[in-house]
Structure 1
Amino acid sequence: MKEQMLVAGAVVAALVSGPLVAQENAAAQANNPLANTTALNFQNLYTGELTGSDRDANQFFLRYAKPFSALGGNWLMRATLPVNTFPDAGGGDTTGIGDFNVFAAYLFDTGNPAISFGIGPQLTMPTATDDMLGTEKWSAGFANVLFNAANPKFQWGYLLTWQASFAGNDDRTDVNAGAFQPFAFYQLGQGWYLRSAGIWTYDFKTDSYSVPIGLGLGKVMQTDLATVNAFIEPQYSIATKGDGQPEWGVFAGLNFQF
């Protein structure tokens, strides 16, 4: 369970024709993980109940994204540092820094400025401050992102990641896990939108998995310094296998694009 939660925690220009359309485009692009802007995100995933127990857990994510140019193309780097709170076997909780994850996605020219597609390598480093809070493994794999904002009212896409361990503590379980995050956003107007962005996880070592579905509400606000995106999204798992999978939770965040 813990390895799956840790891995899951391990990521466009548009035509405008007036102030209202510009506001709608800004609201749509505020959720684009491949937007050509620097982003700083503060996000939190609270798990209210884990399968096989009545315990809860929490993960706070500090995320930073930055576009850059290299090897003759455009890329986007996203780095994530989690602060995890996981239940102990003795009945208490352990809180501290988890494993640091970073990926770099090469941005392909799709021929449509409203459709973004990127793929590239990812790396997870064993930076956890307690062995309960990380895998104690170095892991590598890939990240693939699609975001379609061709429709100003409805945007959709996904983030697909996979990684496997290649070094680290030999006494710890090897990592071989994937995560798929389908996301959809429906613009309500004046910066408000509906959202669904649950992260589906699968552990190839144990065949355990979770499939959470969410429905939440967000608000995009334009300030002089940044585009601010605040949201909250309750989630419920429609399918799970294995102990320690999330039964339900709440995903919330405050994102800034500069």
Structure 2
Amino acid sequence: MKAKLMFILILVVVGKVASAEVSNDEMNKANSPLTPMAAVNFHDYIQSSVFGTDETLNTAYLRIVSPMMIGGLPQLMRMTIPYMSAAPETPTSTTSGIGDVSIFDIFLLSKVDGVEFGVGPLLVMPTASKDETGAGKWQAGAAGIVMSPQSWGMLGALITYQHDFAGDSDRPTQNIATAQPFLLWNLPQGIYLRSTGIMFFNWETGDYNIPLGAGIGKVWKFEGGTTMNLFGEPQWTAAHEGIYAPNFQTFVGLNFQFPLH
């Protein structure tokens, strides 16, 4: 309930101070992970129904995006800092703490027929404050992104893979892939519909989770070029294997993008 009230309050306040009109292209850029702008994102997955426990779990993310130019190659570096509540060995209780920080560095490749591509390395660091909120392993892998902006919205996908290479030998091996499809449909006045559920696959244990999302968001543009993107997206699990995967969750987010000068 508090999250819903905060969501409505932000909508009311921002609607009064934002002035610039938002074009279809600007809406696509506000939702694309390949937009070369500095960004700060606040994301929260509220897992109100979870397989294997009656508890409500929660994972909040602070994501910071920084564009760079190294050796003449444009790049986007994204760092993700999670704070989560997790179900420990006893499924009737939870514990909370900082999770494992991850970074990926995306090299922006040339467009092909308007389709945008990016690929680069990924690193996960064992920064969790508690065993239950992290893997206890150094992990490395890669991330790939493809986005196809359209006149009506956008299609795309973000795919990652990571495997451990060091860390606590007593902790389980990490061999994980994720796939996040992007389907966005733009409406008038900066409003859009969205579906961006992240599919999770643990190749070591055979566990997986495939959610389907259907949500709504709104983009505002401020004088000077800064954009703000506020959204909410309920997600239902269509297929899964393993415990502690969400059966139903709500993905809420607040994204800021800042123009480069």
Q: TM-score, normalised by structure 1?
A: 0.88
Contact 1:179/1:201 (8 A) holds in 2: yes
Letter of the structure 2 residue corresponding to residue 187 of structure 1: N
Shift of 1:27: 1.1
Residue 27 (structure 2) aligns with? 27
Residue 103 (structure 1) aligns with? 104
The alignment status of 1:48 with 2:45, answered yes or no, reads no
Letter of the structure 2 residue corresponding to residue 60 of structure 1: A
Contact 1:100/1:125 (8 A) holds in 2: yes
Give 1:190-205 correspondences, 5 Å limit: 190-205=189-204
CA distance in 1 between counterparts of 2:102 and 2:185 reads 29
Give 1:126-165 correspondences, 5 Å limit: 126-149=126-149, 151-165=150-164
Q: Deviations over 1:66-116 (max 9, x none)?
A: 11111331111111000011123343221111100000011111244x422
CA distance in 1 between counterparts of 2:24 and 2:255 reads 17
Number of equivalenced pairs: 237
Partner of 2:237, secondary structure, is strand
The alignment status of 1:212 with 2:211, answered yes or no, reads yes
CA distance in 2 between counterparts of 1:146 and 1:71 reads 23
RMSD over aligned CA atoms reads 1.4
Shift of 1:246: 1.3
Unaligned runs of 5+ in 2: 1-19
Residue 252 (structure 1) aligns with? 252
Unaligned runs of 5+ in 1: 1-18
Residue 92 (structure 1) aligns with? 93
CA distance in 2 between counterparts of 1:120 and 1:69 reads 14
% of aligned pairs identical? 37
CA distance in 2 between counterparts of 1:247 and 1:255 reads 26
Q: TM-score, normalised by structure 2?
A: 0.87
Q: Deviations over 1:220-250 (max 9, x none)?
A: 0011352000000000010011122111100
Give 1:163-178 correspondences, 5 Å limit: 163-178=162-177
Q: Deviations over 1:159-191 (max 9, x none)?
A: 000000000001100100000000110001110
